[in-house]
A and B are shown apart, each in its own frame.
Chain A
Amino acid sequence: DAKTTQPNSMESNEEEPVHLPCNHSTISGTDYIHWYRQLPSQGPEYVIHGLTSNVNNRMASLAIAEDRKSSTLILHRATLRDAAVYYCILRDDRNYGQNFVFGPGTRLSVLP
């Protein structure tokens, strides 16, 4: 699976939007971009995924660059509960090995 690069940490104020970047310059045409987050003392939880087009769900939006070499997870109004480690993962849907490669992620702090 291709590698992703994320900032180690970010800060946001409560009720403000947060843009979490991810670089994946070696992405292949069949790699999906997945985002998971891990709240303190919990297992990771799925946030969103996409291939080429921007995606929205109840948790977040995913903006994918036209060349697909980067993407941004957007939390529209950060809450204290959004403080977590956010992981950006590439997943080739042809790879039936199925193992996700979790890097160190971005630790998001939300300030009240």
Chain B
Amino acid sequence: GAGVSQSPSNKVTEKGKDVELRCDPISGHTALYWYRQSLGQGLEFLIYFQGNSAPDKSGLPSDRFSAERTGGSVSTLTIQRTQQEDSAVYLCASSFGRGVYEQYFGPGTRLTVT
């Protein structure tokens, strides 16, 4: 079956521009997460959506970062006025629901801010 997909796979943008990253979770998964991974580093949690509940935004590093999840499915992570330190791989994951269900990760979007 289809896994988590993300687009674009690579994005190069100039400092100060806005970018949108897309995530298509596995069908039927109610939980969706965004992480970022800087070169050679572990994963950093950004935001979590669960069903129709208010998202957990506790990991967003600044107000330039925001995310939406429409219709309980597709999610978009938006970074406004990008900075060079935003360069990283942005990973999306989904899971069946609350609890200890395993997370399924997408291949990531590599963002480079020049």
Chain A interface residues (CB < 8 Å from chain B):
32, 34, 36, 42-46, 49, 87, 91, 93, 96-105
The DSSP consensus for interface residues of chain A is loop
Among A44, A91, A99, point to the contact of B45 (Cβ < 8 A).
A99
| Minimum CB distance partner of B105 in chain A | A43
Judge whether A98 and B102 touch: CB under 8 Å.
no
Question: Interface size (B, Cβ < 8 Å)?
Answer: 27
Count, A-B residue pairs, CB within 8 A: 61
Judge whether A98 and B31 touch: CB under 8 Å.
yes
Judge whether A98 and B98 touch: CB under 8 Å.
yes
Chain B interface residues (CB < 8 Å from chain A):
4, 31, 33, 35, 41-45, 48, 50, 56, 58-59, 91, 93, 95, 98-100, 102-108
Among A34, A45, A97, point to the contact of B58 (Cβ < 8 A).
A97
| Minimum CB distance partner of A48 in chain B | B102
Closest-CB distance, A12 to chain B (whole angstroms):
21
Judge whether B42 and A87 touch: CB under 8 Å.
yes
Given A98-B48, A99-B45, A99-B59; A93-B100 close (CB under 8 Å) = yes
Q: Which residues of B are found within 8 Å of A91, using beta-carbon distances? A: 100
